[in-house]
A and B are shown apart, each in its own frame.
Chain A
């Protein structure tokens, strides 16, 4: 830990994390150790769909991720929780191959993706839903759905998509960006499901949406999870994250500072969020 700390540039946050680590150590020593070990989920929960190992990322000289390791199993939802600038989106972009200044390994089904291009990664089964939803204005709703190739036989048919998202069927001929924010989010998720992506990278799907829509998105996540799709979810809305996730990675200053099961996270939520500064 101290080794990593020395690499920090932001002294204040280093201090905060140091404090926190010390606290937790004393907690453990004080006989409250139960939370920590049981809260730390086992990593051997079956073969990983996605495994990110010691990933570091830079923007020019600035290091935004430091030795981040994350796994997602099939049918599992793991979240990345952390404040703005913690490196969550960069992590998703690195997994997608869109951020190139990286070191470390990203593997899908145990196969290293190396320097493979974003399109090769998408065809291997990674579906990216960016934080701005990434809907094309010059494509109709239906074209937005049909654009990506079908990459896996678990892909949703158009009938299934329209069955699950009737609003998209109604507006199939509308330009994609004429939809409301919630509808665009549905479209962005439906688009990667129609591709047959087996790993979804969801970047703040609940952001700026009405509670009823957020609830619907939660239902969809639980449903695709039941179908064996793995989800890596970036979320600032902790209540929502807790309602869908199995595990949580807490990111601060580009590092994973905690890795918790959903129950352990729920039990310590307010404490953890205070420490993250959220």
Chain B
């Protein structure tokens, strides 16, 4: 039983990384209609920048938690302004290919500069070690990562449901053309939304840094699972991205613990099952023909 609780916590912590990143992927897809393949690379960049801040500037985890999302927001804004926006009018496949190409460039660039072996990053002071709850030993950092992700998800949820910006993002996610016809300059929100989505991937990267091997390739597997998360939750659904993120984290953790050989497969079996029962995902809306 105590092991089960430990796996659950690990699953929820990993699920937090998925949830935050999928949230970013979902708002970008919703407002721009872009499937951002480079989201895994942005997650990786978040972790790498955190490691570089520590190694070269001696700026620790708490600083990285603030600085990295800001830097990644800027990176997202540049990416949208310089590249993505020119392809928005074309078939969505063009931006998919663009972000796929960007992923290759980012991964190779990081390899070139920092090599293929993992960069060191330690659990920040105060979050190391374990706490004993009853008879169960729990990792303090996993608890922190889990709670932090949930808090950020709730904050984003409040931003979406309680503010005018959120209302516009929800409306544009449902139907951008119709929202324009109601007098809203959707184009003005496209760049900040893209930056925001990328910032969330970067934040997930920082959060993952102390518990993962920080390598150029760390985003490659991540993006594949992230797509499963988005499909399970329902493409474009913000709540779905969060719920499916934590769900997939849990399934993966139990898979690793109880059926290591099938750990990866289980996620995709779950995805297939969800698509069979609800083709538009758990929280996706049925397509109206």
Contacts and interface: CB of A to CB of B under 8 A. Distances in A.
A binds B: yes
Interface of A: 96-98, 117-119, 121-123, 128, 130, 132, 134, 136-139, 143, 146-149, 151, 191-192, 195
A98 B181 contact: yes
A147 B175 contact: no
B182 A137 contact: no
Contact of A119 (B171, B184, B288): B184
A219 to B, nearest CB: 24
Given A136-B170, A138-B171, 18 more contacts: A97-B181, A98-B180, A117-B185, A119-B181, A119-B186, A122-B180, A122-B181, A123-B183, A134-B178, A139-B167, A143-B167, A147-B182, A148-B182, A148-B183, A149-B183, A149-B184, A191-B182, A195-B183
Contacts of A119: 180-186
Range for the number of chain B residues in contact with chain A: 20 to 34
A246 to B, nearest CB: 25
Contacts of A151: 183
A240 B173 CA distance: 35
A96 B174 contact: no
A119 B54 CA distance: 46
Contact of B167 (A132, A134, A147): A147
B177 A136 contact: no
Given A137-B285, A139-B170, A143-B167, A96 B181 contact: yes
A136 B161 CA distance: 14
A95 to B, nearest CB: 10
B168 interface: yes
A191 B182 CA distance: 9
A118 B181 CA distance: 5
19 contacts: A98-B177, A98-B181, A119-B183, A122-B180, A122-B181, A122-B184, A128-B181, A128-B182, A130-B178, A132-B288, A136-B174, A136-B175, A139-B170, A139-B174, A143-B167, A146-B167, A147-B179, A148-B184, A195-B183
Nearest to B236: A138
Overall SS of chain B's interface? helix
Interface of B: 167-168, 170-171, 173-175, 177-187, 285, 288
Nearest to B183: A122
B174 A147 contact: no
B206 to A, nearest CB: 30
A193 B288 CA distance: 27
B174 A138 contact: yes
A233 B49 CA distance: 58
A103 B186 CA distance: 25
B168 A147 contact: yes
A204 to B, nearest CB: 16
A117 B187 CA distance: 10
A137 B174 contact: yes
Contacts of B175: 134, 136
Contacts of A137: 174, 285
Contacts of B179: 147
Nearest to A124: B183
A146 B285 CA distance: 23
Contacts of B186: 119
Residue with the highest number of chain A CB atoms closer than 10 Å, among B167, B175, B187? B167
Contacts of A138: 170-171, 173-174
A97 B183 CA distance: 12
A146 B167 CA distance: 9
Contacts of A146: 167
Contacts of A134: 175, 178, 181
A72 B192 CA distance: 39
Nearest to B174: A136
Contacts of B170: 136, 138-139
Contacts of A132: 288
A257 B185 CA distance: 37
A139 B182 CA distance: 14
Contacts of A195: 182-183
Contacts of A122: 180-184
Contacts of A130: 178, 181
A118 B171 contact: no
A75 B137 CA distance: 75
Contacts of A128: 181-182
B50 to A, nearest CB: 34
A113 to B, nearest CB: 13
Given A134-B175, A134-B178, A137-B174, A147 B285 contact: no
